[in-house]
Amino acid sequence: MRKNSQTRARVILHVDMNSFFASVEQAYDPSLKGIPLAVAGNPQQRRGILVTCSYEARAFGVYTTMTVGEARRLCPELVIVPPDFEKYRIASSAVFDILRSYTELVEPVSIDEAYVDITDIGGLTNARAITKNIQQRILQELDLPCSIGIAPNKFLAKTASDMKKPMGITILRKREIKKVLWSLPVIDMHGIGESTEKKLVELKIHTIGELANANELTIKSALGKNGVRLRERANGIDHRPVDPEAANERKSVGSSTTLPIDETDLEACLETFKWLANKVAIRLNKQQLAGTVIMIQIRTADWQNQTRSRTVLNPIFKEEQIYEEAKNLFTTHWDHEPVRLLGITISNVIPLNELYEQLSIYDYEKHAKDAQIEGLVSNLNEKFGQNAIKRGND
């Protein structure tokens, strides 16, 4: 009797588009193919930051986050174009449409990567053939290259897709982890950044193998639940399913409050919006999200509910941005009726890491700096009380 996908060994793909923004630009303009190409937030300024670059540019030592000036010193013939995020969204949607033509079990991770569970449409027996077909279809129909990892779980599939770029297909089995991964430094492991690496080094854990064999209580004491998860990943353990609804679970983040009196004073209402903006910013920071739609809620003394919303060009997550948008909506639409309740909601949210890939999209340098400061301020306020610390003006 045929086993179902819950008891059969899972086969999961991680599809990772290669130099996505640059590849989309080359697909739209074939004259850009085969040459050193970069996408930069502000191509005209030497201090502008590269969003991504083609593999031809990487051959000269050019890499993402390098400044335009640095990149041109390494590669004088580098062609730099500004980002066009609408193009990238259209291309991304087309990629996901191709993936969903194989199975509904497609989980978008960001604009240029996704997990696909092919357990029930061929499993391991036909995994390479299915994967090759997916890769070739994306290339032939969209003129976009991708690398794909094949593995029994998400972590190993993600790791495998990074092993051969561009246009790679890599199978990584659990039994191969010791040979393939354990000798690598922990910073090379997906899910570990510089901060976590530093904590692990303090525990004298330098390689993925040392993490895999570390004492679980020691890891948990130093890194909490995340440390336990990372130790499991280092041993090839990852039970997360491919969830097509995962991206839709985080639809909005908001907060509202009932006022102590039926308020008619504008300044008092705006002070409430400042407080709400702070709460929403903290919640967004906790979940590492940003959104492009802001909505305010107004409930009048006679219990009439009103909502007003605005879509912004670049996703927002900072307290000042949220407050300014809410303030503008309120002052524009409030009819001076006594107010009983006010609220702010940020929707159409995306993960912050995707926001940085977009460069937010033209002022990456400012946003990258501000994100670190906002995170610090939010954490301090959460620890010591609201408004314990505020940012000064630049």
Q: Which residues are catalytic?
A: 113
Q: What angle is formed at CA 70 by the lines to CA 68 and CA 74, rounded to 5 degrees?
A: 110
220: tokens are: 């948990």
Q: Among 13, 34, 113, 124, which residue's Cα sits nearest to residue 79?
A: 34
DSSP state of 10: P
- Report whether 394 belongs to an annotated binding site: no
Q: Are 8 and 20 in contact (CB under 8 A)?
A: no
> Would the annotation count 112 as a binding residue?
yes
- Distance between CA atoms of residues 85 and 355, nearest Å: 11
270-276, long-range: CB within 8 Å, 24+ apart, which pairs?
270/327, 270/330, 272/342, 273/323, 273/326, 273/327, 273/330, 273/342, 273/344, 274/323, 275/386, 276/326, 276/342, 276/343, 276/344
| R_g (Cα) of the chain, nearest Å | 24
Say which amino acid occupies 218.
Answer: T
Q: Map residue 170 onto helix, strand or coil.
A: strand
Taking the C-alpha atoms of residue 237 and residue 123, their distance in angstroms, rounded to an integer, is 19
Pick from 18, 65, 79, 94: nearest CA to 359: 65
Residues 227, 211: Cα–Cα separation, whole Å: 9
SS3 (DSSP) at 297: strand
For residue 181, what are the contacts with CB-CB under 8 A and spacing of at least 6? Answer: 159, 189, 208, 209, 234
Which CA distances in Å does 301 have to 156, 261, 304, 335, 345?
56, 9, 7, 13, 21
Q: Detail the DSSP E strand segments found in the chain.
A: 12-17, 37-40, 50-53, 79-81, 106-110, 113-117, 146-151, 169-171, 252-263, 289-300, 305-316, 339-351
Cβ contacts of residue 268 below 8 Å, gap of 6+? Answer: none
Structure tokens at 78: 């580098």
* Angle, helices 194-202/216-234, rounded to nearest 10 degrees: 130
User: Residues forming the annotated binding site for Mg(2+)?
Assistant: 16, 112
Pick out the residues of the known binding site.
16, 112
